Amino acid sequence: MKKKICGVHLVLEVKDCPFDILDNEKLIREALTQASKQSMSTLLNLTSHKFHPMGVTALALLAESHISIHTWPELGYAAIDIFTCGEHSDPHKACEFLVHFLKAKDYDLITIPRGNKVKKDNYFPNLEQEGCSACQARRN
């Protein structure tokens, strides 16, 4: 079987972002719309949900895959996934745009090639599962 890379998945952790941006559903929707354009992707659908008392989750469904964001305004933090496939999309441009738009003072980025060529031990050999206290609090 021929091994192939099917796409690129970026896992973006943005930190120290302003509360008023991360808690604004309209701004988060605009961010994903513009990020899809920046990555030269085709936006098919956009859905979002505003949590109370705070937080936003949004998903941009792309012809090339997706961009998703989950915000924790009280922590100044957002978790973002950008996955694109095909030759013409550039997920790194979406990443750069989102870091700027969300006014992140810090961020971490992991790039993961996707496809049958990828082996998990090459990327996360020592990864341990830990619960996020903010996630647990939101579920309760």
Active-site positions read 65, 70, 85
Residue 78 near residue 20, CB atoms below 8 Å: no
For residue 70, how many C-alpha atoms fall within 13 Å in the half-sphere facing its CB? 6
Give how far Cα 93 sits from Cα of 10, 84, 124, Å: 11, 11, 24
- The span from the CA of 71 to the CA of 105, in Å, is 15
